[in-house]
Structure 1
Amino acid sequence: MTEDIYDIAIVGAGAVGISAALAFARDGFKTVLVGGLDARRDGRTVALLNGSVRFLEALDVWPAISAEAAPLETMRIIDDTGSLFRPPPVAFTSREIGLDAFGWNIENATLVEKLTAAAKDYDCLTLLAQQATGFEVDEAAASITLVTGETLKAHLVVAADGRNSKLREIAGIEVKTWSYPQSAVTAILAHERDHRETSTEFHTRHGPFTLVPLPGRRSSLVWVTSSEDAQRLAALDDTALARAIERQAQSLLGAMRIDGPRGLVPMSGLSVSRFQSPRMALVGEAAHVFPPIGAQGLNLGFRDVASLRDAVVDAHDNGHEPGVDETLRQYQRGRDLDVRLRSAAVDGLNRTLLSGMIPADFLRGAGLLAISNIGPLRRVVMKEGVLPHVGAPRLMQGVAA
Structure 2
Amino acid sequence: MTEETFDIAVVGAGAVGLSAALAFARDGYRTALVGGLDVRRDGRTVALLNGSIRFLDAVGAWPALRDVSAPLETMRIVDDTGSLFRPPPVAFSAGEIGLDAFGWNIENATLVEGLAEKARHQDNLTLIPEQATAFEAGGGAAVVSLKDGSELRAGLVVAADGRNSMLRQSAGIEVRRWSYPQSAVTAILAHDRDHRDSSTEFHTRHGPFTLVPLPGRRSSLVWVTSTEEAQRLAALDDDALARRIERQAQSLLGAMRLDGPRGLVPMSGLSVSRFWAPRLALVGEAAHVFPPIGAQGLNLGFRDVASLRDAVVDARGEGRAAGDEETLRRYQRGRDLDVRLRTAAVDSLNRTLLTGLLPADFLRGAGLLALSNIGPLRRAVMREGVLPRVGAPRLMQDAQRA
For the aligned pair, the TM-score class normalised by the smaller chain equals over 0.9
CA distance in 2: counterparts of 1:383 and 1:123, whole angstroms: 35
CA distance in 2: counterparts of 1:4 and 1:262, whole angstroms: 41
CA distance in 2: counterparts of 1:77 and 1:347, whole angstroms: 17
The aligned residue for residue 82 of structure 2 is 82
Secondary structure in 1 matching 2:161: coil
How much has 1:400 moved relative to structure 2? 2.9
Q: Is the 8 A contact 1:71 1:197 kept in 2?
A: yes
CA distance in 2: counterparts of 1:167 and 1:3, whole angstroms: 19
Q: Is the 8 A contact 1:278 1:325 kept in 2?
A: yes
Q: Is the 8 A contact 2:136 2:143 kept in 1?
A: yes
How much has 1:267 moved relative to structure 2? 0.3
How much has 1:2 moved relative to structure 2? 5.6
The aligned residue for residue 69 of structure 2 is 69
The aligned residue for residue 31 of structure 1 is 31
Q: Is the 8 A contact 1:8 1:30 kept in 2?
A: yes
Secondary structure in 2 matching 1:334: helix
Residues 161-204 of structure 1, C-alpha deviation per residue, up to 9 Å, x if partnerless?
00000000000000000000000000000000000000000000
Are 1:108 and 2:108 an aligned pair?
yes
The aligned residue for residue 170 of structure 1 is 170
Q: What is the Cα-based RMSD across aligned positions, in Å?
A: 0.8
How much has 1:319 moved relative to structure 2? 1.4
The aligned residue for residue 11 of structure 1 is 11
The aligned residue for residue 248 of structure 2 is 248
CA distance in 2: counterparts of 1:400 and 1:37, whole angstroms: 30
Residues 192-246 of structure 1, C-alpha deviation per residue, up to 9 Å, x if partnerless?
0000000000000000000000000000000000000000000000000000000
The aligned residue for residue 213 of structure 1 is 213
Change (3 A) 1:321 1:2: farther
The aligned residue for residue 117 of structure 1 is 117
Secondary structure in 2 matching 1:4: strand
The aligned residue for residue 275 of structure 1 is 275
How much has 1:123 moved relative to structure 2? 2.7
The aligned residue for residue 335 of structure 1 is 335
TM-score by length of 1: 0.99
Are 1:390 and 2:397 an aligned pair?
no
The aligned residue for residue 260 of structure 2 is 260
Q: What are the residue-to-residue correspondences of 1:142-161 with 2, within 5 Å?
A: 142-161=142-161
Secondary structure in 2 matching 1:177: strand
Residues 243-297 of structure 1, C-alpha deviation per residue, up to 9 Å, x if partnerless?
0000000000000000001000000000000000000000000000000110000
The aligned residue for residue 400 of structure 1 is 401
Are 1:356 and 2:365 an aligned pair?
no
Q: Which amino acid aligns with 1:129?
A: P
The aligned residue for residue 285 of structure 2 is 285
Q: Which of 370-379 and 158-167 deviates more?
A: 370-379
Q: Is the 8 A contact 1:33 1:125 kept in 2?
A: yes
The aligned residue for residue 232 of structure 2 is 232
Residues 36-76 of structure 1, C-alpha deviation per residue, up to 9 Å, x if partnerless?
11111110000000010010111111111111000000001
Q: Which amino acid aligns with 1:273?
A: S
TM-score by length of 2: 0.99
How much has 1:147 moved relative to structure 2? 0.7
Instruction: Point out where structure 1 has 5 or more consecutive residues left out of the alignment.
Output: none
Q: Is the 8 A contact 1:290 1:297 kept in 2?
A: yes
Q: Which amino acid aligns with 1:128?
A: I
Q: Is the 8 A contact 1:14 1:38 kept in 2?
A: yes
Secondary structure in 2 matching 1:84: coil
Q: Is the 8 A contact 1:2 1:153 kept in 2?
A: no
CA distance in 2: counterparts of 1:47 and 1:225, whole angstroms: 20
How much has 1:4 moved relative to structure 2? 3.2
CA distance in 1: counterparts of 2:122 and 2:319, whole angstroms: 24
Secondary structure in 2 matching 1:182: strand
CA distance in 1: counterparts of 2:38 and 2:266, whole angstroms: 20
The aligned residue for residue 372 of structure 1 is 372
CA distance in 1: counterparts of 2:21 and 2:123, whole angstroms: 12
Q: Is the 8 A contact 2:4 2:151 kept in 1?
A: no
The aligned residue for residue 314 of structure 1 is 314
How much has 1:387 moved relative to structure 2? 1.1
CA distance in 2: counterparts of 1:189 and 1:114, whole angstroms: 22
Q: Which amino acid aligns with 1:292?
A: P
Q: Is the 8 A contact 1:132 1:146 kept in 2?
A: yes
Q: Is the 8 A contact 2:26 2:123 kept in 1?
A: no
Q: Is the 8 A contact 1:7 1:321 kept in 2?
A: no
CA distance in 1: counterparts of 2:227 and 2:173, whole angstroms: 30
CA distance in 1: counterparts of 2:379 and 2:122, whole angstroms: 40
The aligned residue for residue 305 of structure 1 is 305
Q: Which amino acid aligns with 2:89?
A: P
The aligned residue for residue 138 of structure 1 is 138
